[in-house]
Amino acid sequence: MKLLIPHSKPFLGEEEKRACCEVIESGQIAQGPRVEKFEKRFSEFLGMPQGVATSSGTTALHLALLALGVGKNDEVIMPSYVCSALLNATCATGAIPRIADIEPDYFNMDPEQVRKNLTPKTKAIIVPHLFGFPADMDRLLTFGVPIIEDCAQTIGARWRGKLIGTLAEVSIFSFYATKVMTTSEGGMVLSKSKKLIEKIRDLRDYDYKKTYKPRFNYKMTDLQAAMGIVQLEKLPFFIQRRREISSSYHNEFSNLKLGLPLTKSNPQAEPIFYRYILPIKKNRKIFEKNLYQRGIACTPPVDKPLHRYLKLSPTNYKVTEEVFKTALSIPIYPALTENEVQKIITAVKKELVKME
């Protein structure tokens, strides 16, 4: 077996190591000054007035929903083609999830399908910007319902020149090991609304409160924040490198008869290419296995669409069903060496030509 190029891998170095060692030596390892500094630096990076760091993207989303007043008997709209974290955070509030199909060309939620799912009970819409591609915010913002931008896969991308995560009521981020930047596990909520942020800050931990109500322990630690501060300094390089690799892939793959690009975006969008997706119309399993044997780990980017979890009729989710059956994600991340990028290009081309 040849050395395997993993599907995802964090970009970590001496700087992260040193930052974490300093935290251990300081004796202050739980939530403290470094979390505060990370909140400040991260919100500044996006040009937002304030942020609250959390233990994960899921807990960030849970708190954002609660701060918007989402609860029992409310409805929350979200897309079908996304991980189950959205469903978990929504169900934890007691609200009912309403699932919308995605747009044919762009992976993201179809505003027309959102409109069909609107009811008087709709309290919020969760809009993930999937795979590094901004969703159609122009149309999604017209419904007059609070939007939570889910930027777990998309930091630094722009819509009409404006940064994703700054366009709606509130936005959430994930710093899980395989995301755009990492704190191992971690998350963040940003909002222009001071009131919303204060609510979220209050719900994040339980000590030193005047009155009782159910609260959580969703805190980030200084150990995680120290890593995050270093990663944030590297973020412009991470984004640039993702764009470079995707354009190398594009140049090599776009003249093959692949039905490319699945990796295209709205003309108003500047994506960051968190994922690079190949549409493998036939024998995707075999294609995946062949690449694995060439030393490259690929994977379908979403393991199970939400309408399937909820056992909703697949006829209402035609686009998701098609993408679910054909999409294959190949490695794209800043920790890839140029050698590895070339190896991936060669192997993918050989396998694609075999399929033609």
Ligand X SMILES: *Cc1c(COP(=O)(O)O)cnc(C)c1O
Beta carbons within 8 Å of 205's beta carbon, 6+ residues apart: 31, 215, 216, 217, 218, 219
Contact of 320 with 80, CB cutoff 8 Å: yes
The distance of Cα 204 from the centroid of its chain, to the nearest Å, equals 21
Give min distance, CB of 114 to ligand X, in A. Answer: 16
Binding ligand X by CB under 6 A: which of 50, 174, 246, 265? 174
**228 lines the binding site for ligand X (CB under 6 A):** no
**131 lines the binding site for ligand X (CB under 6 A):** no
**165 lines the binding site for ligand X (CB under 6 A):** no
Site string for ligand X, 29-48 (x = CB under 6 A): --------------------
Stretch that binds ligand X, among 20-28, 65-73, 82-90, 323-331 (CB under 6 A): 82-90
Rank residues 109 and 347 by Cβ distance to ligand X and give the closer one.
109
At how many degrees (to 10) do helices 338-355 and 284-293 cross?
A: 140
Give backbone dihedrals phi and psi of 337, rounded to 5 degrees, phi first: -80, 160
Please give the angle made by the CA atoms of 272, 162 and 60, to the nearest 5 degrees: 70
Beta carbons within 8 Å of 18's beta carbon, 6+ residues apart: none
Question: What are the strands of the beta sheet with 158-159, ordered from one edge?
Answer: 162-163, 158-159, 269-270
**218 lines the binding site for ligand X (CB under 6 A):** no
**56 lines the binding site for ligand X (CB under 6 A):** yes
CA–CA distance, 310 with 328 (Å, rounded to integer): 23
Stretch that binds ligand X, among 31-39, 51-59, 63-71, 296-304 (CB under 6 A): 51-59
**150 lines the binding site for ligand X (CB under 6 A):** yes
Give min distance, CB of 165 to ligand X, in A. Answer: 12
Stretch that binds ligand X, among 22-30, 52-60, 220-228, 304-312 (CB under 6 A): 52-60
Binding ligand X by CB under 6 A: which of 97, 111, 128, 334? 128
DSSP secondary structure code for residue 55 in this structure: S
The residues binding ligand X (CB under 6 A) are: 56-58, 82-83, 85-86, 128, 150, 152-153, 174, 176, 187
